[in-house]
Amino acid sequence: MSKNTEHECDGISVGLVEKKLYTFAEPPNELTLASGARLGPISVAYETMGTLNDDKSNVILIAHALSGDSHVAGYYSAADPKPGWWNTMVGPGKGIDTDRYFVICSNVLGSCMGTTGPSSTNPATGRPYGLDFPMVTIGDMVKVQKALLDHLGIGKLLAVIGGSIGGMQVLEWAISYPETITAAILLATTTRHSALAIAFNEIGRQAIMSDPNFNKGDYYSGPKPDLGLALARMVGHVTYLSDEVMRSKFGRRLQDRDNLAFDFEANFQVESYLRHQGSKFVQRFDANSFLYITKAADYFDVGQQHGNDSEVEAFAKVKAKILVISFTSDWLYPTYQSRDMVNAMKKNGLDVSFCEIEAKCGHDAFLLPNERQSTLINRFLDRVSEEEKHDAL
């Protein structure tokens, strides 16, 4: 690891990391998706950190949420002002300790952060896919991750870890590849979207598709549907927070003024904050990717897809040790959904640990510094590692 004097590194951060690319499914060997469509070639962006041990038994795969990417921790350069999205959790001596574990994080299929998605070039036309990109599922995303691991020569994972939509990927791993993973860590996630979650996603999609610049998804050579995407992000961001954190952070405080302006500008701080979040998002994310990934999340249903409408039957395939963590203020994926998941797992006699963490920050709590979450994950990984060593003797 290079010494980086501009930010915290040795003992605190993994330091400098590099985004890598693996391409597979070249025609005529395209990947068959859940929809029946065939897609190829597929490029997948990924990053690794830590050291792979001799028997490759210390590998942890981290699955990201909706707008995440492969840049889970560390920095791209000495001048990089911002670390990876989970830098507080991944690194030397942290909850996911890169002094002990070899960590992999890849960008999901359908995204716009290096992995093939609707903004990628369609080899049949030489232009971006747009809405010609096939619909993808959480299962398709995991198939791509499995292909990457096969390429890296990794046949067994110590753990797969993910929150939100990342947690859905972890569930898919545990059910579809039970022999491949030893442990699964699920954070702020669900086995299927509620009507409420689907409704918020649909509002976001309609905001994008109603933008005058959407042009049926073919906007890459002209103005982009920035207003629609910004609005979608604003709606989504509200679901990631909680009433308590919004009340304490904003209340009804005015933005840069002492009195109401009697206009439609951002009079309140919370209005200004949401507009800022929307404008930041359009600078880094693709509107079509938002459509595809939210739809994949809405389609996800463990019981329907793996257990004849029974989650208990679906979890009968699982062999991994499991840690489930929920958060008290998460109203997007509330704790009752985690409890239902855990109950279905326990009916199969699975080794399941569950904890609800007191947190004020809403659904985003799993992404924020939290000593209890870090300790739970660290100790769970310790236990799994020790039991694996014991079983190998």
* Residue whose tokens read 């995204």: 111
- Return the closest-CA partner of residue 102 out of 158, 150, 141: 158
179 vs 6: which has the higher pLDDT: 179
Q: For the domain 194-299, what is the CATH code?
A: 1.10.1740.110
Q: How far apart are CA 157 and CA 308, in angstroms?
A: 28
Whether the pLDDT of residue 2 is over 70: the answer is no
One-letter identity of residue 368: L
- Those residues whose C-beta lies under 8 Å from the C-beta of residue 382, and which sit 6 or more positions away, are none
**What angle is formed at CA 91 by the lines to CA 89 and CA 96, rounded to 5 degrees?**
55
Confidence class of residue 392 from pLDDT cuts 50, 70 and 90?
A: confident
Query: Confidence band (pLDDT; 50, 70, 90) for 8?
Result: very low
Tens digit of each residue's pLDDT (9 = 90 or more) over 201-215: 999 999 999 999 999
Structure tokens at 373: 């979450």
| pLDDT averaged over every residue in the chain | 95
**Is the pLDDT reported for residue 4 higher than 60?**
no
Spell out the domain ranges in the chain: 194-299
- pTM higher than the cut 0.85: yes
Q: Quick one: pLDDT at residue 257?
A: 87
Query: How does residue 390 score in pLDDT terms, banded at 50, 70 and 90?
Result: confident
Residue 46: enclosing H or E segment and its boundaries? strand 42-49
Q: What mean pLDDT is predicted for residues 95-111?
A: 98
Which long-range CB contacts under 8 A does 379-385 form with residues at least 24 apart? 380/183, 380/185, 380/321, 380/323, 380/353, 381/60, 381/96, 381/97, 381/101, 381/158, 381/159, 381/183, 383/321, 384/158, 384/159, 384/182, 384/183, 384/321, 385/58, 385/100, 385/158
pLDDT of 219 above 50 = yes
Residues annotated as catalytic (active site), given as ranges: 164, 330, 363
Share above pLDDT 90 across residues of the chain, in percent, rounded to a whole number? 94
Are 297 and 290 contacting, i.e. CB atoms less than 8 angstroms apart? no
**3, pLDDT greater than 50:** no
Instruction: Give residue for tokens 């499995």.
Output: 146
Q: Give the model confidence (pLDDT) of 111-167 as tens digits.
A: 999 999 999 999 999 999 999 999 999 999 999 999 999 999 999 999 999 999 999
